[in-house]
Structure 1
Amino acid sequence: MMMMMMMGRRVRVLCCFTTFTYLYIYSLVVALPTIPDGDHHLLLPGAGQSFKIALFADLHFGEAASTDWGPLQDVNSLRVMSTVLDHEIPDFVIYLGDVITANNIAIKNASLYWDQAISPTRARGIPWASVFGNHDDAAFEWPMEWFSGPGIPEIRCPVANSSCSGEEDCSFKGTHRLELMKNEIALSSLSYSRYGPKELWPSVSNYVLQVSSSNNPGSPVAFLYFLDSGGGSYPEVLSSGQAEWFRRKALEINPDSRVPELIFWHIPSRAYKKAAPRFGIHKPCVGSINKERVATQDAENGIMKLLAERVSVKAIFVGHNHGLDWCCPYKKLWLCFARHTGYGGYGNWARGARIIEITQQPFSIKSWIRMEDGSVHSELVLSP
């Protein structure tokens, strides 16, 4: 009888998500406010001055939260971000996916960890934007050690960093992309993240930001495109719908390809495998670590063909592979990895962040990597 009661308890917890998933997502969609395009222009400080962006990739906050190791890694990740922000003093920060490790977070609202990850940027009054990675809304994975005893494991909910007050709050239903984005935007006016077009959902973080001169806000200096490369709750892929959205949006706002464009998503496209250096890093590639094979998206649905054919696209920036930090040329653009910023996730390579600097007069796009010890390496010019 006791075993049946325990099994029933677990079934109620696990089935709660499957029963109400569609009603839950629908309620999120209805609640989402409209964010006008005009509210999302970024301004260069002035003619001749630069606009600096810091990329924070693969932070993996909340990983192994029920252990002593996990929370310590989050503290270390906060230190890395603080070091980069204090050295570089960027104008903007981009969270390049895998902000959290949702598979490991046994609480109702994973946004609590997302909030922690953003806190060094928010505390300094720096605006930011984010894209989703494959771990951000992945389903909770029951830890093997919970099954070491006989029978069905008890529901466990960590007290630290948690709002859980009872069994229902610890149902591990996961926090979906829409809710994570909704909570981030509601958190602060400093967030420039977007929900993206509804016709592309469940792919959420698809949007574009305009960088303009403060002397002439209506005149774009660069466009920053953000795309959701999937993973977690759906396949790791950029869809043909996203490619078509980019094509239409680019023709609308940059019809003559006059304004340079930079692209940001999390999981490398298959073109990265073609461009990858072999046995170290040699010119024209620039970087310091090439310690694993490129792990790519599941399919290629046309986005790379579009980007490679647009002369205005200067570079694509991704995360996902913690042991890669190179930039390599691919046709007429650059394919770049960020540097693994977080202490969560695999790998023991030193942490850091890729920096991008846009200068208007004379125009240039440069990049380098700032390390957790304050050093700088891998400087290169992406566009003269």
Structure 2
Amino acid sequence: MELVMKNDGKFTILQLTDLHVGSMPFHEHDYLTFNHIKEMTEKANPDLIVITGDLIWSEGVEGPEKSFDELINVLNALNKPIAITYGNHDTEEGVTRSELRKMEEKIDLLVEKKHLHVVEDRAAYCVEIKDEHNTVTNVLYMIDSGALDPLKTGTYEFVHPDQVTWFNNVSKHYGGRKKDFKQDLLFLHIPLPEYKEAWEDGQASGQKNESISSPMVNTGLFTSLLLNGNVAGVFCGHDHDNDFVAELHEVKLCYGRISGFQCYGELTRGARVIELNSNQLFDTHIIETTFYQNYK
């Protein structure tokens, strides 16, 4: 399955994040999440859906793979291409990332994972978007940012150094595509440490209603993005009450909007829409649910 720019040179991505689908039998909030996924898809009519982690709860859940399987059924009903990376809650207990990736094969329109690389059961891969001439116009780098900090310097895990090396090597494969604007994007669950600097720098729009839960260890991925020179934006989830976009060194650091109802968060549930354009820098905005504001 190939992803191709539309005839008008546009391509729309819907970022869903932090679905937190719970155990079966499902809670009413899980059904709200399923309906919300459908509503956001109908509203954005995307060419690709990217889910940036915490698709399910697994700790204390009996048979988390069953919940994931039911979520796959919901995704298949959307009839849209799907790309996934995982978060800190997906595999806390009862299921592994490799098992979830195996289950992904049931997704009818799962993206083709280019340059797939797995380290410590964390996958990194590329998604290619092409034009009508079969030329790659945009590369989406998908990186599994892990779960808990194994060094215990902080709470959350850092991008693995081997993943940074992978990015440095693979990004060279896509050299020679540079225009007068940056074209590529990076998706992961846990925000990079530079999100804090970007917010403090003041070049930000949107909401920051909780602390930025970045790892304490910085393994240098953002520096690699700058050296690459063609990554325009980074998109994460993880912090349910943040949805801001902040620019740092001409790279936009973006939060998605929380999409799940079975978890904490005061923000109205929604999603982030990313509009790629063959002639200019990407644009992005938040869409919100119109039906479930009073679910609490």
Q: Secondary structure at the match of 1:262?
A: strand
Q: Where does 1:203-218 land on structure 2 (aligned, <5 Å)?
A: 203-204=122-123, 206-213=124-131, 215-217=132-134
Q: Cα deviations across residues 134-193 of structure 1 (Å, max 9, x unaligned)?
A: 001012xxxxxxxxxxxxxxxxxxxxxxxxxxxxxxxxxx110001011112x0341116
Deviation at 1:357, TM superposition (A): 0.9
Which residue of structure 2 aligns with residue 127 of structure 1? 81
Deviation at 1:334, TM superposition (A): 0.5
Letter in 2 for 1:76: L
Q: Cα deviations across residues 245-275 of structure 1 (Å, max 9, x unaligned)?
A: 0000001222565572100000011111111
Which residue of structure 1 aligns with residue 172 of structure 2? 251
Which residue of structure 1 aligns with residue 153 of structure 2? none
Residue 62 in structure 1 maps to residue 40 in structure 2 = no
Cα separation, 2, equivalents of 1:104 and 1:339: 26
Q: Where does 1:122-271 land on structure 2 (aligned, <5 Å)?
A: 122-139=76-93, 174-185=94-105, 187-192=106-111, 194=113, 196-198=116-118, 200-204=119-123, 206-213=124-131, 215-217=132-134, 219-231=135-147, 236-254=157-175, 257-258=178-179, 260-271=183-194
Cα separation, 2, equivalents of 1:341 and 1:118: 16
Which residue of structure 2 aligns with residue 149 of structure 1? none
Q: Which has the higher helix share?
A: 1
Of residues 279, 284, 294, the one that matches 1:367 is 284
Gaps of 5+ in 2: 151-155, 292-296
Residues 106 and 308 of structure 1: is their aligned pair in 2 closer, same or farther, counting only changes over 3 Å?
A: same
Cα separation, 2, equivalents of 1:193 and 1:341: 24
Residue 42 in structure 1 maps to residue 3 in structure 2 = yes
Deviation at 1:307, TM superposition (A): 1.0
- Superposition RMSD on alpha carbons, in Å? 2.2
Letter in 2 for 1:322: H
Deviation at 1:202, TM superposition (A): 2.0
Residue 300 in structure 1 maps to residue 261 in structure 2 = no
Cα separation, 1, equivalents of 2:213 and 2:120: 24
Residue 321 in structure 1 maps to residue 225 in structure 2 = no
Q: Secondary structure at the match of 1:334?
A: strand
Q: Secondary structure at the match of 2:223?
A: helix
* Corresponding residue pairs, total: 283
Deviation at 1:232, TM superposition (A): 5.5
Deviation at 1:299, TM superposition (A): 1.3
Q: Are the aligned partners of 1:290 and 1:323 in contact in 2 as well (CA < 8 Å)? A: yes
Deviation at 1:298, TM superposition (A): 3.9
Q: Are the aligned partners of 1:59 and 1:98 in contact in 2 as well (CA < 8 Å)? A: yes
Of residues 250, 257, 262, the one that matches 1:339 is 257
Q: Are the aligned partners of 1:315 and 1:334 in contact in 2 as well (CA < 8 Å)? A: yes
Deviation at 1:104, TM superposition (A): 3.1
Q: Which has the higher strand share?
A: 2
Q: Cα deviations across residues 83-112 of structure 1 (Å, max 9, x unaligned)?
A: 1111111111011100001113112xx232
Of residues 35, 47, 52, the one that matches 1:79 is 35
Query: Alignment identity in percent?
Result: 25
Residue 96 in structure 1 maps to residue 85 in structure 2 = no
Q: TM-score, normalised by structure 2?
A: 0.88
Deviation at 1:285, TM superposition (A): 1.5
